[in-house]
Copies of this chain bind each other. A is one copy, B any other.
Amino acid sequence: MVKVGIVGGTGYTGVELLRLLVMHPQVELVAVTSRSEAGQAVADLYPNLRGFLALPFSEPTLENLAQCDLVFFATPNGVAMKMVPDLLAKGVKVVDLAADFRLQDPKAWEEWYGMPHACVDTLGEAVYGLPEVNRELIKQARIVANPGCYPTAVQLGFLPLLEQGIVDSANLIADAKSGVSGAGRQASVGTLLCEASESFKAYGVGGHRHLPEIKQGLELSADTSVGLTFVPHLTPMIRGIHATCYSQVLDKSIDLQTLFEQRYIDEPFVDVMPEGAAPETRSVKGSNICRLAVHRPQGGNTVVVLSVIDNLVKGAAGQAIQNMNLMCGLDEAEGLGQVPLMP
């Protein structure tokens, strides 16, 4: 059994980790921390866990967390980087679901997140936790940076094209749409039901924090620089991301369907749909699956990849557990067999 702790268990990624971990056959939950809720039963805050979890929230102390084999950080950006070095020193592995360890360049981090990085040395050893790219590195890692939700959907959509160098990498467009849970559980006017339902809008057009993360990943795959326009949108639903990825193919004779199927043939959580299909976000709701389809409309140069995930699962908690499984020598898919909830 892996002894697991969660720091910051009150947000949506926290409760989603709990939903998945309480049923994970190889995990023992030993600590769920929340400074604001310490002492309260977790299931009082999240009644869906009544009968599944008896733990109370506890204080996020080093002492409390050092008893764990692995700790998940489901905290706001900037929290994990202050605690991770101490945990590593105690022999505790870490998966950070926030952005602290995602950008390899500390200057880029400071620019996009507005604060200096607190542990640049540790940053160097952090592995970017996209198993479809870094599986072997993740197995050896002590600290894994769990990818953002948009970056997961967009990278999995572009990877086969960029790895093969068959599209113009200077001119990529990712038009991405997210459900509202991506904005978290903080009280804010913009995500009230009366503001966000029955409406659709773009946001962060001038520059979203996931842009440098996506670019970094795509450039590694392409092994060259990449030009990316990334426009995120808010769509009136709870869960789900749909990325529509546009690029210009350099050679129209390539069989894109076969390319995608071959690239992901051994991946347990990537499903390439048949030619002509269009995945719905609900077809992955509650599951760790990324579902893809590839099109070249009217036989032209433009390749359109449709990529859907559940932002809270493959885009956060599920992928974090996939990483934990790899880091702890478990079956990669353990505890992640949920069938999507439909309708």
A interface residues with partner B (beta carbon < 8 Å): 12, 15, 19, 22-23, 46-52, 171, 173, 175, 177, 179-181, 185-189, 191-203, 205-207, 227, 229-231, 233, 235-240, 242, 244, 246, 248, 271, 273, 276, 278-287, 289, 291, 295, 297-298, 300, 302, 304, 306, 308, 337, 339-343
Contact = CB atoms under 8 A, between A and B. Distances in A.
A114 B242 CA distance: 31
A238 B343 contact: yes
Given A192-B193, A193-B180, A206-B276, A297 B229 contact: yes
B242 A300 contact: no
Copies in the complex: 4
Nearest to A340: B48
Contacts of A300: 227, 229
B240 A200 contact: yes
Query: Which 9 A/B pairs are nearest by Cβ-Cβ distance?
Result: A199-B282, A48-B340, A48-B342, A194-B343, A47-B283, A187-B187, A201-B280, A175-B175, A193-B193
Contacts of A306: 202, 205
A171 B235 contact: no
B205 A47 contact: no
B205 A297 contact: yes
A196 B193 contact: yes
Contacts of A229: 246, 297, 300, 302, 304
Nearest to A286: B341
Contacts of A206: 276, 295, 297-298
Contact of A235 (B177, B248, B295): B177
A339 B52 contact: yes
Given A192-B192, A239-B343, 5 more contacts: A48-B340, A185-B194, A202-B278, A207-B298, A235-B235
A197 B193 contact: yes
12 contacts: A47-B279, A50-B291, A173-B173, A173-B246, A173-B302, A175-B246, A191-B193, A198-B198, A207-B297, A229-B302, A229-B304, A286-B286
Contact of A49 (B242, B295, B339): B339
A89 to B, nearest CB: 34
B185 A187 contact: no
